[in-house]
Structure formats: C-alpha cells, structure tokens
Chains A and B, each alone.
Chain A
Amino acid sequence: MILKIYYLSKLYLLEQIRRQVHLVTLFLAVILLMLPAYVNSFSLGLSAFERVAKDFGLTLISFYAVAMAIFLGVTAVSSDLERRTLYPLLARPIPRWAYLMGKFVGVLVVLVSSVLVLSCCLMLSIAALAKFADGQLIVVALCYALEASVLAAACIFFSTFSSPPLAGVLGVFLYFVGGLSQSFISFFLVEDRESPAVAMLARGLKMVMPHFDLFRVKNAVVYTLPLEPAYLLSITGYALAWMLLFVLLAERVFARKDL
C-alpha cells in the first residue's frame, strides 16, 4: 500500500512540474535573494537591516506558503475529477483513501521543498551581507510549512464536498479565523470595540479550528529570542494530528461520493 501511495504522490509531483508551479517558487526565490541588498540601501544600521530583511522575507514566505497550500489543496482532487483522469486510477485496485493520501503526500512534498528552497535563499542572501548564517530562519520557515500543510489538508477535505472556489473561500476563512491570536481577540473585540458577543463567537469558532497562530514564531528569529525545542516538538505533533484528522474526514466524504 505504501508503494501505491508513493507512486501516486510521484505522479502528482510530475504533474505539478509539468504545470510549471515551481516557476513561481523560483520567481520568489530571486526576489528573496535580492531583498537584503535592497533593504540594506534604506536601513540605518546592520541590526536594523537584518531585522527588516528577516521580518519581510519570512512574511513573504508565509504568504507564499498559504497561497500555495490553498491553491494546491483545492485543485488536488478536483482537477482529476474535471479532467476525468480519476476514473482510470480508481478502476485499478487502489483504495480511495490511498488515492487521497497519495495526493496529500504530493502536496506536502511540493510545499515543504518550496519553503525550504525559499528559506535557504533568504538565509544565504542575509549571510552574504551580515557575515553570519542564522539557521533559525529555516526552522521558522518550516513552522510556516507546517501551518501551510494543515491548511492544505483542510482544503483537500473541503474540495471533496464542494466546488473549488467554495473550497478556496472556506480555506481562507479557516486561515483567518484560526489564525486570530487570543490577545488579538481580547484587545480588538473586548477592550477596543467592547463587543463581547462577537468575541465569544470568534473564540467559539476558534475552539473547533486549528490554531494557526501557534506556528507563527517569526518574532523569535527577528528579535533573536531562544526557540524552545519542546515548543517546536509540540507544534509538530499538533500539526500532524490536525493533518490526520482532515485526511480522515476527507476519506469519509470521498468514500461515500458517487463517482
């Protein structure tokens, strides 16, 4: 069964290369390679340049990862359905859960490899000017990859019962509400706006959604704060649990689908 998942994910990977998805990654990689030099021309000192370049670069990587996760997650199953390439696959002795798993592993490989390439580009370009390679940049970028992987799993689940545009909207909604931090809700909805009902609704929705704000540890690398290994391990476990949950739910819906 593992071999089947491997072949399906390999097939998905080749399909993405044929669709030239990697060109977007390369385009952003060129921007990230030039970014520190560009920031350096405006900054007042070395520490300011490093902070701004890291902050801006990691924000770019996180937006890219989220956009790719929504795009790849939404189109992974629906594109096979639209082009009718799903039917010859399912006619073979491949269970539906293995098909979904193969697709998800393929999305995961594309996401993680893209984020790794981008973070390496950012690290190298900063190291070329600051004469110091900060390895924590890659760790933080991998946390963003975890966040994007959970979102991609959710989008695959949404795409099993809805159209691709609706699945994309649901994915964006999940990302925004799940990404609201507790301090954001208590400050803007309780203290500033004084609307506890909306705050309660936001908290209630957030309780049943993955907490994406846990993966955003960018400030640790920007302000050179220590990153606890226990925390990194815990968010990895958290992301894996949510990924498994979304894939299981997607399998339940996909198994019942009349194809």
Chain B
Amino acid sequence: MRVLSLLLLVFLFGPAWAQPPSASASPAEHVHDEHCEHEHELTEEEILHRHHQHGQEEVEAGSEYTSAGLHAQVENAPALYKFMIRESNSEPFRLKGQSVLVWRDTAVVCALNLVIIFWFYRRRQ
C-alpha cells in the first residue's frame, strides 16, 4: 500500500518537478526572431512569393498543415490510425436505429433461456 501511495505521488507531482522554462529565449525562438527581422527587409511581393513557394513545398512534402498534406498523411498512416478516423466519423450513426437489432438479439437469447427452463422442468418431473 505504501509503495502504491508513493507511485501515486510520483505520478501526480512528477510533471510539477520538471524544470521550469528558462528566462532566456530558446534556440527555436531565436531563429524565429531572425526570420521575422529578415522578412521586414523584403518587399510585400517577395514575401507573398516566398509564402506561396513554402506552401507548394509543404504540399509536395505532405505536411500536416495543408489539406492535401493531411490527406497524404492519412493515406500513409498506420492501419490503427485509419480505423480510428473511420470509427470517429461513423460514431453518431452507430447508435442510431441499432436498438432494433439489439432487441432482435435479446429475443434470441430469451428463446434460448426458455428452452433451458423447459428442459430443466421436464427433467425434474
């Protein structure tokens, strides 16, 4: 019980013990700032052209940020992922009108119950 309590404590407070982010900018932020400063020097047309090129590259690379890229990613996804997408899409329709099928199955099981009960009483007599 004590070990379990200890494990629970680690599970609960583990993330809180993790190092807080440092005050200085991270390498990723630093690169992003440089990128922004460089963009200020470019003209509007050049920026638009660069963004368009970037978008084209993303589509070709199958990036998840574009619809074409997302489609490509889903096509290449593992089977379990594909199945989960299909299940989540069909979920609202799964419950609709299924009660009739459940009642049909219930009737079959009830018939089986009656057979067993009759068989039981016949053997008793």
Residues of A within 8 A of B (CB): 27, 30-31, 34, 38, 41-42, 183-184, 187-188, 192, 211, 214, 217, 219-220, 223, 225, 227-228, 230-231, 233-235, 237-238, 241-242, 244-245, 248-249, 251-252
CA distance A217 to B102 in the complex (A): 14
Interface 1/0 per residue, B82-116 and A, CB below 8 Å: 11001110111001101110110110011011001
Q: Is B36 an interface residue (CB 8 A)?
A: no
- Is there an interface contact between A248 and B91, defined as CB atoms closer than 8 Å? no
Contact of A245 among B12, B88, B109 (CB under 8 A): B109
Residue of B79, B86, B95, B96 with most chain A CB atoms under a 10 A cut-off:
B95
- Is there an interface contact between A245 and B99, defined as CB atoms closer than 8 Å? no
Contacts of A42 in B (CB 8 A): 15
Chain B contact patch, size range: 20 to 34
- Is there an interface contact between A188 and B79, defined as CB atoms closer than 8 Å? yes
Residue of A38, A227, A241, A245 with most chain B CB atoms under a 10 A cut-off:
A241
3 smallest beta-carbon distances between A and B, as pairs: A234-B102, A241-B109, A234-B99
- Is there an interface contact between A227 and B95, defined as CB atoms closer than 8 Å? yes
28 A-B residue pairings within 8 Å (CB atoms): A38-B12, A38-B15, A41-B15, A183-B83, A183-B90, A184-B83, A187-B83, A187-B86, A220-B91, A220-B95, A223-B88, A225-B95, A227-B95, A228-B99, A230-B99, A231-B95, A234-B98, A234-B100, A237-B102, A238-B103, A238-B106, A241-B113, A242-B109, A245-B109, A245-B112, A245-B116, A248-B116, A252-B116
